[in-house]
Structure 1
Amino acid sequence: MWILSFYRSYPIRLFFILCFMVLFMLCELAIPYLMRIFIDDIFTTKDMVKFYNFCAIFIVPVVLMVVFKSIYDRLSCKLQERVSIKLQKKLLSKMRDLGVAYYENNQSGETLSIIQSSVDSATELYRKHLPQFMLQFSNMLVVFLYIMFFNIYFASIMIIAMIVNHFLSKHFGQKSIFWTEMETNNKITLERKIYDAVSAIPELRSYGSVEWSLREIQERTNEFVEISFKAHLYRHLRFLYRWIIINLGKMFVFIYGTVMVINGIMDYGEIITIVLYYVVFMNSYSIVVRNLWDQEISLNHSARLNNFMNIIPEVEEMKNQISMPDSKGTIELINVSFSYKNKPVVLEKINLTIKPGEKVAFVGMSGGGKSTILKLLTRNYDVSEGEIRINGIPIQQISFEEIRNQIGVVNQEIYLFGSSTIYENILFGNPHATESEVIEAAKAAYAHDFIMSLPNGYQTVVGERGFNLSGGQKQRIAIARVFLKRPSIILLDEATSALDSISEVEVDMAFKKLLDGRTTVTVAHRLSTVKDYDCLYIIENGKIVDSGCFNDLMKRSDKFKEIVLGPKGEAS
């Protein structure tokens, strides 16, 4: 099983855990046997010397049980935590490796919900279920062999009780597993709905749709409660029938044992010992059955995690990578065509070369494929046909780390870490930067003055989605990040389209300083921001239909004039 493969790195620790588990089990099973001696040899003779000696002996297995159990728990806990950390690291690494393509096609809330609930349940497999199963199954086996050699009829009663229990448990167990699985799936759906509602609180308020959202969550909650009730009901019925059967079996063992004692075949101590061993056996059996059922649920969750871990990323690193010792900022697109999975072609036969320090922009109507080019340059997706080269090296042969170290991106929607400070959000651009470098980057982005005007300055917490900052302030923090990163290539995806005119002026000042001497690729709707660019490419239906500088295109391209002035001839 995939989830148990994490144990392979700790064979010695696992061996000692099993040893102390066996020692604990033997001490536990020794107590009913000592009870037999106590009843037959001491209780009937009333010898006080033997009684005191026996009490001293009786303490030994109890003390050893405490010692062995303490060592077992300590070793087991350390192993479980190490395995859990290893699993968490694997999952986080996988979440990173899946890349943008996965998260654009799958809801983050659902992914997080699956991982959280599945990890908790899957880790229970090796924290609780597996150790319990091994201990209790060993108990069952030793007790059964002892009773079978002692008296086959007692063993038969145990077997009958176990068989009846099995068939009844199977009937209710299947229903219980079905409704528990339904409960888990419904919980994931509910958590996704709550995540969406919390994320969309500003929009819900602005549209007056808070009550609608609450009603929708309430409906999902009611559905979850109804399914959860059925899951708990069948779990309860399963345990109820098991309890009845165990106690009926105990009664039959005691009745048969009493008959054996009356006929002089058994002693009082032997019947008490058999009853105690029966209780131990059936309790262990109950735990094993419950454990197997819990394991099945955990394995279902483990299967989800395994499926998640086996998702093949759309973009993968090549093993033999080429380093870029001299980062000039040259970009080449050679016969590049691209389509998203199972969708029409987005880009077709794109050919262009961007020289170091050159500023180019992609313009055109929405849906033409402009932003897709930026996704290809950061290798969030791979081209369907053709080739992209950075500094003369095919992009597939460059490591993700090197690509993203050489490229700085500023998007229209800036993501700020809500629970972090402004200082930490700028430091995100280069975690190894010093405090003075962070402040210099903020000054270069024209962000230092507004930051210092805040009550806590650089230690101001930005709030969820940067709620405490304006659009222009968030953009300047993003620009400060890029200053701190010092990339050779800058990608701007409609970075000023959502700003008011005052904020746009402030951000433009920061951009001019940032872009100076760096290769710049911009997707622009506000064409006033790219008038001084070296070249503008008009993208229409995934093709470059024209290119040139701003003034040149205004003179000769009707298509460009329409983009700039609009269909009614009004400037954008």
Structure 2
Amino acid sequence: METNMPATARPDAAGLRRFARLISDANPPRVVLTVALLLTLIQTAAGLIVPLMTKGLIDGLTADSLNRQVLIGLAAAFILQAAASAVSIYMLNYAGQRIVANLRTRLWEKVLALPIPFFDRNRTGDTMSRVTNDTSLIMNLITEYLVSFVSNIIAIVGGIALLFYLDWVMTLIILAVVPVTALILMPVGRKMYRISKKQQDEMADLTSILGQVIGEIRLVKAYGTENREARSGEDRIRRMFAFGLQEARILALIGPLSTFVMTAVLVLILGVGGIRVASGLLTAGDLVAFILLLFQVITPMAQFTTLYSRVQKVLGATERIQAILAHEEEPQDSRKMAAPEGEAIELRNVSFAYNPGEEVLRNVNLVIPARQTTAIVGPSGSGKSTLFALLERFYVPVEGEIRYGQDRIDEYTLASWRAKIGYVSQESPMMAGTILENITYGISREVTLEEVRQAAELAYAAPFIDKLPQQYQTEVGERGIKLSGGQRQRIAIARAFLRSPDILMLDEATSALDSSSEHEVQKALANLMKGRTTIVIAHRLSTVVHSDKIVVLENGRITGEGTHQELLQSHEVYRELAQKQFVEAGQSGETSELI
């Protein structure tokens, strides 16, 4: 027992320290809090004076006289208490809302600054749950309970002092009940903490499933998996329901227990107080004042029992939020703010693994010439997309380094390095909004509509945009669902034109398009590639045969470099791949320049 007791107490103490630090770091409005606390002190003091004035009023009534000064004092105390309470409640709620708003802002900015590996390891729904559900728990605790915490403390301390002043015997009887109640509530609170953590896990799971299923609802319906996804969601909802019942059982224990204690104490005080009034040790006014003060002490104590359970519930949320806030961000500090243009990119002995011991790239040495087109070809899973991710600094090589000219790319700030890169992928990701907003997405400077039109012209996007009823103000839908694949690609290319990058990265940019769309996109890409260092990933060799340099990547290693004709003569795997695609192209009736 001696070794276990501290272990069970430690998580609560550590959690409370984390919570206090979290609130402190949220930059609470200290002036507002100070004024609110002063008003709370006035409100509580006025509330404690009322029983004493009531005592004088009742004792005066027994002498057949009505003390007008006491009545005026009572009325003034009531008005002061009500006014101070109204203002302090508003100010404390304002402070609580401000704290949580600052916390959410800090958490959101932190999420945006986290490195890509964080999102590889954590589900989107879990991260969303931290920003929304967990902060809501903290907000409810602050606005509904902590706003009255200080006034309750003052009411309890002041009330107990006045109770001792009125009758110390009955006060000691009341205080004897407190340790007994605490011994019951402590283990209940620890149980609530464990249940709360499990509940939040289930909530994060459910949020993740909802985000995934709703985001891919067309896939769900196309493959008829509605029932399967329904069962998956129902399973987590049932588990949440089970944890909710466990929480309800605990609350059902705490509520009646608090009511029972309050009722028992009141009955006991009425009995003992009646005896002491009959014996002349107390006046009737003393007993009434004592009971009024007793309610002013017991009510905050009852709120503390609920507060205790709520605090235990929030500790799990605090722990998860702190885990995100403590996570290492993408590196921002660097001595170089901007990179020169027109330099070659060099990979020196670069190796990389997503998981230890499972290398995706192995000792890659590669020079990507400036203002030329370099194509990366190879079978699926050979590491082509990983190479792109390293160039964009989404990941850091396990070994080796990447240089731009004479400098390592990690010597530049992320913002200045990524500003040099234009990226067009086969998915052409888009944000919900208008075509104009998507073309100008990520452009930090002011952009005129004429510049946008010019970029759209170069990207061969202007013809279809001009035919739309709202043209550049047309809503594209979530992830650009209202546009075709070719239209999305051309908008992505227009965005790259507007960005005017020094380095252009094309990741299977035409692989998912039909022949007509591919022709338009290829013309747009040809415009975009002029005068830029271009790196292309392609499965279809017909799209890269005219590249200045072709690099063959197999199983994370470079096995060949050269022009198309050079590789046909010197690289067996490349030659076989070219011959296979030539046969497929011939069977489909397409022309080919592969061999």
State the TM bucket, normalised to the shorter chain.
over 0.9
User: Which one of 47, 61, 82 corresponds to residue 65 of structure 2?
Assistant: 47
State the identity %.
28
Equivalent residues in 2 for 1:326-405, closer than 5 Å: 326-405=340-419
| In structure 2, C-alpha distance between the alignment counterparts of 1:215 and 1:8, rounded to whole Å | 44
Stretches of structure 2 lacking an aligned partner (at least 5 in a row): 1-16, 586-593
Contact 1:129 1:295 in 2 (8 A): no
| In structure 2, C-alpha distance between the alignment counterparts of 1:301 and 1:379, rounded to whole Å | 31
Amino acid at match of 1:364: G
What does residue 561 of structure 2 align with? 547
Q: Does 1:422 align with 2:444?
A: no
Judge which range, 235-244 or 324-333, deviates more: 324-333
What does residue 272 of structure 2 align with? 256
What does residue 459 of structure 2 align with? 445
Equivalent residues in 2 for 1:102-501, closer than 5 Å: 102-313=118-329, 315-317=330-332, 319-324=333-338, 326-418=340-432, 420-431=433-444, 432-501=446-515
| In structure 1, C-alpha distance between the alignment counterparts of 2:488 and 2:316, rounded to whole Å | 43
What does residue 17 of structure 1 align with? 36
Contact 1:327 1:391 in 2 (8 A): no
* Secondary structure at 2:561 match in 1: strand
Amino acid at match of 2:34: F
What does residue 34 of structure 1 align with? 53
| In structure 1, C-alpha distance between the alignment counterparts of 2:31 and 2:247, rounded to whole Å | 40
Amino acid at match of 2:364: I
- Displacement of 1:270 after TM fit? 0.8
- Displacement of 1:74 after TM fit? 4.0
| In structure 2, C-alpha distance between the alignment counterparts of 1:153 and 1:478, rounded to whole Å | 81
What does residue 101 of structure 2 align with? 85
- Displacement of 1:214 after TM fit? 1.3
* Secondary structure at 1:265 match in 2: coil
RMSD of the TM alignment (CA)?
Answer: 2.1
Contact 1:132 1:291 in 2 (8 A): no
Amino acid at match of 2:88: Y
- The 1:325/1:177 distance shift into structure 2, 3 A limit, reads closer
Contact 1:13 1:75 in 2 (8 A): yes
Equivalent residues in 2 for 1:512-531, closer than 5 Å: 512-531=526-545
| In structure 1, C-alpha distance between the alignment counterparts of 2:145 and 2:552, rounded to whole Å | 62
Judge which range, 10-19 or 262-271, deviates more: 10-19
- The 1:66/1:330 distance shift into structure 2, 3 A limit, reads farther
Stretches of structure 1 lacking an aligned partner (at least 5 in a row): none
- Displacement of 1:329 after TM fit? 4.5
| In structure 1, C-alpha distance between the alignment counterparts of 2:488 and 2:47, rounded to whole Å | 65
List per-residue Cα deviations over 1:347-382 (Å, max 9, x = no partner): 122222223211101100111111111111110011
- Displacement of 1:146 after TM fit? 1.8
Amino acid at match of 1:389: R
- The 1:108/1:236 distance shift into structure 2, 3 A limit, reads same
What does residue 574 of structure 2 align with? 560
| In structure 2, C-alpha distance between the alignment counterparts of 1:325 and 1:171, rounded to whole Å | 60
| In structure 1, C-alpha distance between the alignment counterparts of 2:296 and 2:442, rounded to whole Å | 61
Q: Does 1:503 align with 2:508?
A: no
Question: How many aligned positions are there?
Answer: 566
- The 1:170/1:335 distance shift into structure 2, 3 A limit, reads closer
- The 1:7/1:347 distance shift into structure 2, 3 A limit, reads closer
- The 1:348/1:325 distance shift into structure 2, 3 A limit, reads closer
Contact 1:169 1:242 in 2 (8 A): no
- Displacement of 1:126 after TM fit? 3.9
Amino acid at match of 1:64: L
Contact 1:329 1:518 in 2 (8 A): no
* Secondary structure at 1:347 match in 2: strand
Judge which range, 101-110 or 379-388, deviates more: 101-110
TM-score (norm. length: structure 2): 0.90
- Displacement of 1:324 after TM fit? 2.7
| In structure 1, C-alpha distance between the alignment counterparts of 2:339 and 2:354, rounded to whole Å | 32
* Secondary structure at 1:225 match in 2: helix
Amino acid at match of 1:149: Y
- The 1:187/1:248 distance shift into structure 2, 3 A limit, reads same
- Displacement of 1:514 after TM fit? 1.0
- Displacement of 1:159 after TM fit? 1.5
Amino acid at match of 1:316: P
| In structure 2, C-alpha distance between the alignment counterparts of 1:568 and 1:391, rounded to whole Å | 38
- Displacement of 1:325 after TM fit? 5.6
| In structure 2, C-alpha distance between the alignment counterparts of 1:537 and 1:142, rounded to whole Å | 81
- The 1:308/1:7 distance shift into structure 2, 3 A limit, reads closer
Amino acid at match of 2:441: F
- Displacement of 1:164 after TM fit? 3.1
What does residue 88 of structure 2 align with? 72
Amino acid at match of 2:434: T
What does residue 590 of structure 2 align with? none
Contact 1:24 1:69 in 2 (8 A): yes
- Displacement of 1:338 after TM fit? 1.7
Contact 1:553 1:560 in 2 (8 A): yes
| In structure 2, C-alpha distance between the alignment counterparts of 1:374 and 1:278, rounded to whole Å | 71
- The 1:221/1:502 distance shift into structure 2, 3 A limit, reads same
TM-score (norm. length: structure 1): 0.94
- The 1:365/1:270 distance shift into structure 2, 3 A limit, reads same
| In structure 1, C-alpha distance between the alignment counterparts of 2:557 and 2:28, rounded to whole Å | 53
* Secondary structure at 1:520 match in 2: strand
- Displacement of 1:326 after TM fit? 3.1
- The 1:143/1:372 distance shift into structure 2, 3 A limit, reads same
| In structure 1, C-alpha distance between the alignment counterparts of 2:406 and 2:537, rounded to whole Å | 23
| In structure 2, C-alpha distance between the alignment counterparts of 1:92 and 1:222, rounded to whole Å | 30
What does residue 5 of structure 1 align with? 24
* Secondary structure at 2:403 match in 1: strand
- Displacement of 1:535 after TM fit? 0.3
| In structure 2, C-alpha distance between the alignment counterparts of 1:537 and 1:77, rounded to whole Å | 62
Amino acid at match of 1:555: Q
* Secondary structure at 1:389 match in 2: strand
* Secondary structure at 1:416 match in 2: coil
| In structure 1, C-alpha distance between the alignment counterparts of 2:192 and 2:325, rounded to whole Å | 28
- Displacement of 1:440 after TM fit? 1.8
- Displacement of 1:60 after TM fit? 1.5
| In structure 1, C-alpha distance between the alignment counterparts of 2:507 and 2:441, rounded to whole Å | 19
Amino acid at match of 1:365: P
